[in-house]
Amino acid sequence: MASTIRRFELTDLARVYEIETLSFNEPYPKYLFYFYHFISPDTFLVIEENNFIIGYIIGVVRKRSEGHIVSIAVDPSYRCKGYGSKLMLELIKRFKSSKVKIIKLEVDSRNNIAKKFYERFGFIPVGIIKRYYKYSDAIIMILRL
């Protein structure tokens, strides 16, 4: 698994958006990726294998000491091979170097695979946002660094 992680570039948008639509029932609109590219260029990352993008992660530093994971997705045909974990570890490393003390995210309450994935990194549930998604609630999870 010779993969590389790098910053997202605007030329990656079509492929990242394809992964987004393959991964989520309620995909983010394309313009949001532009937005995150400009406000968080160091924490919007893609993972490639043989120069082909297979996943991405978007993180934002808020209030200096809080990191927020906006989204993470891996192309369905590349899942369960460690790519998501590599992305998560790299983002956590970048958050730590930015002096982030706590990382927060929201996850669909029905998505047990994602919840278990986050728990493997030490994230714990701390609350619920009712009807965050169209048909379900979100669980707020945090990781203290």
Tokens read off for 115 = 């919840």
Tokens read off for 103 = 């990382």
Pick the CATH number of 3-102 from 3.40.630.30, 3.30.750.24, 2.40.10.10, 3.40.1030.10: 3.40.630.30
Sequence ranges of the domains in the chain: 3-102
Q: At what angle do helices 13-23 and 30-39 cross, to 10 degrees?
A: 120
C-alpha angle 102-90-121 in degrees, rounded to nearest 5: 55
Nearest to 63 by CA among 6, 104, 119, 22: 104
Give start and end residues of each alpha helix (H) in the chain: 13-23, 30-39, 83-97, 112-120
- The one-digit pLDDT tens for each residue of the chain (145 residues) are 589 999 999 999 999 999 999 998 889 999 999 999 999 999 999 999 999 999 999 999 987 789 999 999 999 999 989 999 999 999 999 999 999 999 999 999 999 999 999 999 999 999 999 988 878 899 999 999 9
Tokens read off for 52 = 């082909």
